[in-house]
Amino acid sequence: MRKKICILLITWFSFLSGTFAAGEQGSVIKGRVTDSEGNPLPGASISIAGTFLGAHSGSDGSFIIGNLTDGSCSVIVSFIGYETQTFEVGLIGEAFLDVVMTGKEVVTGEVIINATRAGNRTPLAFTNLGSETIQKLNPGHDLPYILSLTPSLVETSESGNGVGYTSLRIRGTDASRINVTIDGIPLNDAESQQVFWVDLPDLASSVDNIQIQRGVGTSSNGAGAFGASINIQTKGIDNEPFAEINSSAGSFLTFKNSLAAGTGLMKEKFAFQMRYSGIKSDGFIERTGSRHRSSHITGIYRSGRSMLKANVLLGEEHTGIGWWGVPAEMLEINRRYNPAGEYTGEDGQVKYYDNESDNYVQNHYQLVYNLKLTNDLMTHAALHYTRGKGYYEEFREDRKLADYGLPVIDPDGVHITETDLVRRKWMSNDFYGLVWSLRYNKKRLEASAGGGMNRYSGDHYGRIIWMRYAGSTDIDHQWYFNNGLKGEISVYTKVNYTLSDLISLFGDLQYRHINYKITGYDDDLRDIGQDHRFSFLNPKAGIFLNVGSGQEAFVSFSVAGREPSRTDFKEAAGDQTATPKPERLYDTEIGYKLARGKFILSANIFSMIYRDQLVPTGEISKVGYPIQTNVKRSYRTGIELAGGFILSEYAGWNGNITLSRNRILDFTEHYVDYNTTDWSQEYKSRYLGSVDIAYSPRIISGSDLYFNLRRNISFHVITKYVGRQYFDNTMNMNRKLDPYLVNNVRVDFGDLWGKIRNSEFQIFVNNIFNVSYESNAYGGNWFEDGTEKTWAYYFPQAGINFMVRLGLRF
């Protein structure tokens, strides 16, 4: 059945491509793009407003756009480092446009991140989201939900309503394998390699645009991209003074309020801008409420060809713990049930600790210097420092004193070996470093070089703040402490060379070196000390073809390496045979795009072949801990189809679908079999052959059908489908997530009050058919007398719910 679906979709895609390619004829705009001195600007972007038509200028600056209808149209021309220009063209048959671009006086924010981004002719799979799109998708949800409709992405929320702890996967790749940067500066936590979006609440309100690269992508600073990259550019300085208010309210007592203001450019040199946000929500899942605050402060000083920018991002989160999920047996009884903090009181009644919560403060400080050396050569350097500190607090019932390094309490001759207690597990970390880049762009050659030096120090420790039976134990007794120290140096160089208007070549080479040292004891009092060093050489190469008539194609091959995370190392501590190895990925991407006036279609075929990928196998180390183990051979392969149609001036559609196959080859499961007669244990294994990789649905699709009801009112029907996925690698039907199809509705009202610079009102109704579904789960198995048993916890998502948003800009 799946093969038939694939063949049908590919046939349909090919038919449409051929039909429209052959069927559309029309007028032509020809032209040339140069700088003020008459030098051609190859690679400039030329697009027709309100259509999918566009082109890039060739090596001599020339371009041609065909298949146009006679009449008036707006032509938009943009090029990095130059002011964007718009031309109104009256078209009858053929028109010529001579474009002279004016250089910007200083390097702008787009240059800061350009060195780590894919450009117009980069042979890689990527998606760009602009500021207008991001704002319209931002009633208060975290970034994984704002990115929901990008190809191959699956988002999930612990609270069930997109506020609090959220995460995402791209092509089945988890967040620890996705490189994330803000203005070219690494955001991933150095040890876990995760990005915890909750630590920067309402980050989306500070974002100007985002590029999502699928596959290995271009070389970036920070954690190795092992399946995807997310490159975030924050908002630049507005030239004019402004004030902006955004307020949202909705289900589960969810509220978001943000205030932004800017001075505009003063004396052509100084500018200052700020944003403050407050978010609160009770969450869909019980006791997962969020109380968050964040702010973003930016100041710049510019002089001639240079700019100095100071950037401060402050985040504070207080979130009810929901990461345990809902036990499988409770799904039919109470989908909102949360076991976190549950205990039995002295009266025998089930109770819940009222401060079972996660609390964290994370502040980012960045100082960026940009210099435009010549019209063709630009450089930037940035110093960064991130300070994070926080804890999660838990009530624990009947805990053994020995597990906390405490002696038996002996009041009045009564031995007490267990007690109820409240503990806090702390993290305190510092991350700092330097990133830099140098970019050259002239005629046929676009080249950049860059790199970074980063250092991370993270303390992990636990303290007991209350005990029912304390004896002589001091308050805030610290029972464990360990430190992770991680340093990284990376350098890269990238080249795009235009052989002709038809062919461009791409090359990229990155070197990363990592030192990682752990010292101290973990929460179970094990010594987890260890020292590791890694070096990775990551080459990438590709060819981009501009076929003409709105057609583009590319092919690329990339190699990536990734070191294991802190969890991988510490769970294997004490067992040298279980120490994980670094992973390797070989990624091939083949893409094709066809654009016409009223439609655009693209296809991307990917083949990601892994060596020593880390997966959870259920294997137990010699000291009795579950670990992730490298599997020698595995792969992800598939096709991503995307399209857009302007049906009329009143309606249109954008959508995508990913069809993939994600497999581990020659997989052996390790497990424990209990003899119920005496509960003795026997370690066993079984060969399962080729199996699906956990958390890797074979089908992911998204759709946005929109209607422009009036000039300032639009109506969107948004659909997301995620196919069946397993949450372990055994393909057991008891450990799977069922497919789900969710429909949302969004209504946008713009220009509400003419006297205000910009005003908009939005209504979001999510899951309009009240579908019961789970977007994430975890679990495993055990055996009793040879019979397999399953345990599982799920993360249900909210049924029908709503949000409204009002935005005013003065």
For 525-536, the pLDDT digits (tens) are 999 999 999 999
Task: Encode 280-318: b = buried (16+ Cβ within 10 Å), e = exposed.
Answer: bbbbbbbbbbbbbbbbbbbbbebeebbbebebebbbbbb
Q: How many CB atoms lie within 10 A of CB 12?
A: 11
And the tokens for 343? 């205990």
Cα distances (Å, whole numbers) of residue 23 to 600, 654, 680, 799: 14, 22, 74, 45
The region of weakest confidence among 136-150, 224-238, 578-592, 758-772 is 224-238
Per-residue pLDDT at 84 exceeds 80: yes
pLDDT score, position 617: 57
Q: HSE (CB half, 13 Å, CA atoms) of 529? A: 5
Give the distance between the most distant pair of CA atoms in the chain.
103
pLDDT score, position 628: 74
And the tokens for 71? 């009449």
Per-residue pLDDT at 8 exceeds 60: no
Instruction: Dump pLDDT digits (tens) for 345-359.
Output: 888 899 999 999 999
The region of weakest confidence among 55-69, 452-466, 602-616, 754-768 is 55-69
Mean pLDDT, range 618-632, rounded to an integer: 62
Question: What CATH code would you report for 25-103?
Answer: 2.60.40.1120
Contacts of 273 (CB under 8 A, 6+ apart): 235, 237, 238, 260, 261, 262, 263, 297, 298, 299
The CATH homologous superfamily to which domain 242-809 belongs is TonB-dependent receptor, beta-barrel domain (2.40.170.20)
Q: CA–CA separation, 254 vs 282, rounded Å?
A: 7
Quick one: pLDDT band at residue 626, thresholds 50, 70, 90?
A: low
Q: Which residue spans within 412-467 are E strands per DSSP?
A: 418-442, 445-467
Selected residue with higher pLDDT from 758 and 749: 749
Closest by Cα among 135, 120, 199, 129 to 167: 199
Contacts of 100 (CB under 8 A, 6+ apart): 34, 35, 36
What does DSSP say about strands 27-34 and 94-100: parallel, antiparallel, or unpaired?
A: parallel
Mean pLDDT, range 568-590, rounded to an integer: 87
- Phi and psi at residue 135, to the nearest 5°: -65, -40
Q: CA–CA separation, 95 vs 90, rounded Å?
A: 8
Selected residue with higher pLDDT from 363 and 20: 363
Asked if 667 and 634 touch (Cβ cutoff 8 Å), the reply is no
DSSP class per residue in 569-608? HHHTTT-GGGPPPPEEEEEEEEEEEEE-SSEEEEEEEEEE
Closest by Cα among 132, 147, 151 to 195: 147
- Torsion 764-765-767-769 (CA) sign: negative
Closest by Cα among 315, 310, 314, 313 to 298: 310
pLDDT score, position 671: 87
Instruction: Dump pLDDT digits (tens) for 274-324.
Output: 999 999 999 999 999 999 999 999 999 988 788 899 999 999 999 999 999
Q: CA–CA separation, 440 vs 447, rounded Å?
A: 5
Q: CA–CA separation, 14 vs 599, rounded Å?
A: 14
Cα 34 to chain centroid, rounded: 37
Instruction: Dump pLDDT digits (tens) for 69-79.
Output: 788 888 999 87
Closest by Cα among 298, 293, 43 to 182: 298
Per-residue pLDDT at 4 exceeds 50: no
Asked if 465 and 473 touch (Cβ cutoff 8 Å), the reply is no
Per-residue pLDDT at 464 exceeds 80: yes
Helices (H), 314-443: none
Selected residue with higher pLDDT from 323 and 80: 323
DSSP class per residue in 670-732? EEEEEETTTTEEEEEEEEEEEEEPTT--SEEEEEEEEEEEETTEEEEEEEEEE--EESSTT--
**Residue 521 DSSP code:** B
The region of weakest confidence among 19-23, 267-271, 735-739 is 19-23
Q: CA–CA separation, 469 vs 406, rounded Å?
A: 11
Mean pLDDT, range 396-402, rounded to an integer: 95
pLDDT score, position 15: 42
Per-residue pLDDT at 65 exceeds 90: no
**Residue 403 DSSP code:** G
Give the number of residues written for the chain.
Answer: 810
Q: Where are the domains of the chain?
A: 25-103, 242-809
pLDDT score, position 61: 82
Contacts of 168 (CB under 8 A, 6+ apart): 144, 147, 153, 154, 155, 156, 175, 178
Instruction: Dump pLDDT digits (tens) for 225-252.
Output: 888 999 999 988 888 899 999 999 999 9
Asked if 734 and 742 touch (Cβ cutoff 8 Å), the reply is no
And the tokens for 448? 């950049």
Q: CA–CA separation, 116 vs 395, rounded Å?
A: 45
**Helix (H), strand (E) at residue 618:** strand 599-620
Phi/psi-derived region of residue 175, left when phi > 0, alpha when psi is between -120 and 50, beta in every other case? alpha
pLDDT score, position 83: 81
Q: CA–CA separation, 798 vs 391, rounded Å?
A: 27
Asked if 465 and 478 touch (Cβ cutoff 8 Å), the reply is no
And the tokens for 122? 């980069």
The pTM of the full predicted model, rounded to 2 decimals, is: 0.90
**Helix (H), strand (E) at residue 246:** strand 242-250
pLDDT score, position 113: 60
Quick one: pLDDT band at residue 608, thresholds 50, 70, 90?
A: very high
Q: CA–CA separation, 602 vs 149, rounded Å?
A: 15
Amino acid (one-letter) located at 805: R
Selected residue with higher pLDDT from 644 and 628: 644
Q: CA–CA separation, 164 vs 395, rounded Å?
A: 21
Mean pLDDT, range 638-654, rounded to an integer: 93
Per-residue pLDDT at 479 exceeds 80: yes
DSSP class per residue in 479-507? EEEEEEEEEEEEEEEEEEEESSSSEEEEE
Closest by Cα among 139, 195, 157 to 320: 157
Q: What share of the chain is helix, strand, coil (3-state, %, to 5)?
A: 10, 60, 30
Quick one: pLDDT band at residue 105, thresholds 50, 70, 90?
A: low
Quick one: pLDDT band at residue 623, thresholds 50, 70, 90?
A: very low
Asked if 439 and 114 touch (Cβ cutoff 8 Å), the reply is yes
Quick one: pLDDT band at residue 195, thresholds 50, 70, 90?
A: very high
Q: How many CB atoms lie within 10 A of CB 54?
A: 17
pLDDT score, position 17: 45
What integer best gives the mean pLDDT of the chain? 89
pLDDT score, position 619: 53
